[in-house]
């Protein structure tokens, strides 16, 4: 893959860099692993990089301590939902990844689906259950609409946290109760029987490019938190082994989904390839993907000829703001 020309030949010109990691979301542990990897990669490349945990230090210290830019390795709430992005906008410190609006929409799977449906992009059918709609009478109607099995998940969490596969009516209450521990709202989604795939993206707008697709083979089709980050039982295929036309379609849909949400910098779409008709469905867009030893963006980047260190420096070099130019109208 080309596109490495935008990476400075001298990473020391990037200034003092904070790698945001940890935080207070349910994905804190994963974020610490991601941030540790990014920090080591940047330092080995000559970047003046420092760890910064927002759970332990006020964000304002990013400005008072003279950080020139930020690599966001936070996951989940207050990390990839637009809130920390907004704080960095106010401090005028460029950061990696998507801006405020795209981060906020992509973090909310219901809002993401609404945008994709409006753009004519394929995503599994769903029902949104607000807190007042999580009654027994409402829950038994969900399988009637979506069929069985179905998926129940919190709409604003990642890393497969709080997700259940519901096989029968009797399991609905427990699944909704679990999801509601992480989010007041609950998302119920049509189950797509098929192959789980994921596709990373680098860049912005028309210049954005999809990286090679990864096929995920989890034991029993259960790609949960344990299998994502700790187990060596999960198989990853990159190249995916899919027919070229299916690989190209997954990349096309990923780019369309990424652009529809207004993402920039980098991201990763999770998709399902339905076995029955080979149709591809978009599940979600991750705007601050994992960068751990098991993570998928570095794996795909390697297949495209980009090392982990090159990837980290490239993303950092492209750090920006929603509105880089000085705001007018100040008094």
Spot the catalytic one: 25, 82, 290, 309.
290
Spot the catalytic one: 95, 182, 223, 229.
229
229 included as an active-site residue:
yes
Return the pLDDT at 229.
45
290 included as an active-site residue:
yes
86 included as an active-site residue:
no
- Average pLDDT in the 172-189 region? 96
Q: Please write the tens of the pLDDT for every residue from 7-60.
A: 555 888 999 999 999 999 888 999 999 999 999 999 999 999 999 999 999 999
Return the pLDDT at 329.
52
27 included as an active-site residue:
yes
101: confidence class by pLDDT, cuts 50, 70, 90: very high
324: confidence class by pLDDT, cuts 50, 70, 90: confident
Per-residue pLDDT for 223 more than 70?
no
249 included as an active-site residue:
no
Spot the catalytic one: 25, 34, 286, 288.
286
Residues 6+ apart with CB under 8 A from 184: 130, 131
Q: Is residue 94 a contact partner of residue 319, using CB atoms and an 8 Å limit? A: yes
Spot the catalytic one: 80, 108, 284, 318.
284
Q: Which class for 150: exposed (0-12), middle (13-18), buried (19 or more C-beta within 10 A)?
A: buried
The CATH number given to 126-190 is 3.30.1490.20
- Average pLDDT in the 217-241 region? 68
Query: Higher-confidence residue: 2 or 250?
Result: 250
4-96 matches 105-122+193-315 in fold = no
Q: Is residue 96 a contact partner of residue 71, using CB atoms and an 8 Å limit? A: yes
80 included as an active-site residue:
no
295 included as an active-site residue:
no
Q: How far apart are CA 54 and CA 34, in angstroms?
A: 15
Q: What 3-state DSSP class applies to 199?
A: strand
Residues 6+ apart with CB under 8 A from 150: 142, 143, 165, 166, 188, 189, 190, 191
Q: How far apart are CA 140 and CA 170, in angstroms?
A: 8
Tokens of 156: 């604003």
Spot the catalytic one: 80, 157, 246, 270.
270
- Average pLDDT in the 141-150 region? 97
Query: Higher-confidence residue: 328 or 155?
Result: 155
Q: How far apart are CA 275 and CA 65, in angstroms?
A: 53
Q: Is residue 126 a contact partner of residue 110, using CB atoms and an 8 Å limit? A: yes
Partners of 197 in the β-ladder: 215, 271
222 included as an active-site residue:
no
Q: Does domain 105-122+193-315 have CATH number 3.30.70.260?
A: no
Residues recorded for the chain: 331
Spot the catalytic one: 69, 215, 264, 268.
268
- Average pLDDT in the 157-177 region? 90
Return the pLDDT at 222.
52
Return the pLDDT at 185.
96
5: confidence class by pLDDT, cuts 50, 70, 90: very low
- Average pLDDT in the 290-307 region? 94
* 206-to-140, 144, 329 alpha-carbon distances in Å: 45, 41, 31
Return the pLDDT at 3.
44
Spot the catalytic one: 22, 23, 27, 189.
27
226: confidence class by pLDDT, cuts 50, 70, 90: low
With the CA atoms of 84, 88, 94 and 97 taken in that order, what torsion angle do they form, in degrees rounded to the nearest 10? 20
pLDDT-wise least confident of 155-164, 165-174, 296-305: 155-164
Task: Locate the domains of the chain by residue range.
Answer: 4-96, 105-122+193-315, 126-190
159: confidence class by pLDDT, cuts 50, 70, 90: low
Spot the catalytic one: 25, 159, 288, 295.
159
Tokens of 206: 């028309």
Per-residue pLDDT for 227 more than 50?
no
Average pLDDT of the chain is 91
CATH for 4-96, options being 3.30.450.20, 3.40.50.20, 2.60.120.330, 3.40.50.970: 3.40.50.20
Question: For the whole prediction, is pTM greater than 0.85?
Answer: yes
Return the pLDDT at 129.
97
Pairing of strands 48-52, 16-20: parallel
Return the pLDDT at 294.
80
Unique residue bearing structure tokens 């100040």: 330
- Give counts: helices (H), strands (E), the chain: 11, 13
């Amino acid at each position: 893959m080309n596109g490495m020309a935008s990476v400075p030949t001298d990473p020391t010109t990037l200034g003092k860099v904070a790698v945001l990691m940890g935080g207070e979301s349910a994905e804190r542990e994963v974020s610490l692993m991601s941030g540790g990897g990014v920090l080591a990669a940047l330092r080995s490349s000559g970047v003046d990089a420092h760890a910064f945990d927002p759970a332990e230090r006020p964000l304002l210290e990013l400005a008072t301590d003279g950080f020139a830019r930020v690599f966001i390795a936070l996951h989940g709430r207050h990390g990839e939902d637009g809130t920390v992005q907004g704080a960095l906008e106010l401090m005028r410190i460029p950061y990696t990844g998507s801006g405020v609006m795209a981060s906020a929409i992509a973090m909310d799977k219901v809002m993401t689906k609404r945008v994709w449906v409006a753009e004519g992009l394929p995503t599994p059918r769903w029902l949104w259950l607000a807190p007042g709609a999580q009654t027994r009478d409402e829950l038994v109607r969900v399988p009637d609409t979506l069929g069985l099995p179905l998926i129940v998940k919190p709409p604003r969490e990642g890393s497969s946290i709080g997700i259940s596969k519901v096989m029968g009516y009797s399991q609905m209450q427990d699944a909704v109760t679990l999801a509601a521990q992480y989010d007041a709202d609950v998302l119920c989604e049509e189950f797509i029987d098929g192959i789980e795939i994921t596709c990373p993206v680098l860049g912005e707008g028309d210049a954005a490019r999809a990286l090679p697709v990864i096929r995920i083979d989890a034991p029993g089709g259960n790609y949960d938190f344990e299998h994502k980050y700790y187990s060596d039982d999960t198989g990853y295929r990159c190249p995916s082994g899919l027919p070229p036309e299916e690989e190209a379609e997954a990349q096309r849909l990923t780019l369309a989904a990424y652009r529809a949400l207004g993402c920039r910098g980098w991201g990763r779409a999770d998709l399902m390839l339905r076995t029955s008709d080979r149709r591809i469905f978009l599940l979600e867009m991750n705007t601050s993907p994992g960068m751990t030893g098991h993570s998928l963006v570095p794996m795909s980047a390697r297949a495209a000829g980009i090392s982990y260190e090159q990837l980290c420096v490239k993303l950092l070099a492209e750090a920006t703001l929603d509105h880089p130019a000085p705001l007018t109208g100040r008094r």
